[in-house]
Amino acid sequence: KAGVTQTPRYLIKTRGQQVTLSCSPISGHRSVSWYQQTPGQGLQFLFEYFSETQRNKGNFPGRFSGRQFSNSRSEMNVSTLELGDSALYLCASSPGPLQGMNTEAFFGQGTRLTVV
């Protein structure tokens, strides 16, 4: 069974640009959540999608958005990039809603975004 796939693995963007990251969950998983990992702030929750609906959102500005498609694949978009958006973006999938034991999420290898 294939794991969680994130594309691209590496990305370099210029301030002010926008970027779209993609996440394909494990087959059969319907929940996808996103996390930002930086040396200064650690791992922070961005949002969770389940059945194409955003179910929860972390404390990030509106420049961060996402969506989920009917096949459970998810995309995350960051507009008007800032230097501080440089981070590792991790996607995780779980079979059901991200609650309780389903918080045993399976992570992808991440997308390393560098903003210059």
Partner 1 sequence: AQTVTQSQPEMSVQEAETVTLSCTYDTSESDYYLFWYKQPPSRQMILVIRQEAYKQQNATENRFSVNFQKAAKSFSLKISDSQLGDAAMYFCASSGSARQLTFGSGTQLTVLP
Give, as one character, the DSSP assignment of residue 15.
Answer: T
Contact with partner 1 (CB under 8 A) among 26, 76, 110, 115: 110
Task: Report the site for partner 1 in 5-64 (rule: CB under 8 A).
Answer: 33, 35, 42-43, 45, 48, 55-56, 58
Q: What 3-state DSSP class applies to 106? A: strand
6: tokens are: 């994130």
Distance CA 68, CA 14 (A): 26
Residues that bind partner 1 (CB under 8 A): 33, 35, 42-43, 45, 48, 55-56, 58, 88, 90, 92, 97-101, 103-110, 112
